[in-house]
Amino acid sequence: MCDNHMLMKTCRPIPEGTPPITGHDLEHLLSHTAGWEVDNGVLTKVFQFEDHFQTIAFVNAVAWVSHREDHHPEMMVGYNTCMVSYSTHSIGGLSENDFICAANVDHLVGD
């Protein structure tokens, strides 16, 4: 499920001292990101593809989103899978930017 509200937003700089999103706010945002999970302050989802070519096309599309938003995930790429993980390192946890990018990545594959 792709959150259209998040698709309309763009990433913004996070002011120093901003706390990571937790509690009810985190649960609310997570409820709008189907298939994404949070573990130790990292938002992660594994995407499955038919073959390596589709996987690499997806990786390149995620790179485009990352460049546009200036917010970059960790990616672990396999033959037909790609695990995408977001975290805002400057605050040591999750920010709205992570969820904006997750929505954009989901939109790439029509989730």
pLDDT single digits (tens) 83-98: 999 999 999 999 999 9
Q: What percentage of residues in the chain have a pLDDT greater than 70? A: 95
What element of type H or E holds 38? strand 37-39
Domain boundaries of the chain, sorted by first residue: 22-33+40-109
pLDDT in tens, 54-76: 999 999 999 999 999 999 999 99
Give the number of other CB atoms < 10 A from CB of residue 76. Answer: 11
Q: Which CATH fold would you assign to the domain 22-33+40-109?
A: Gyrase A; domain 2 (3.30.1360)
pLDDT band at 1 (very low <50, low <70, confident <90, very high): very low
Is residue 40 a contact partner of residue 63, using CB atoms and an 8 Å limit? no
Select from 46, 48, 33 the least CA-distant residue to 2: 33
Is residue 47 a contact partner of residue 58, using CB atoms and an 8 Å limit? yes
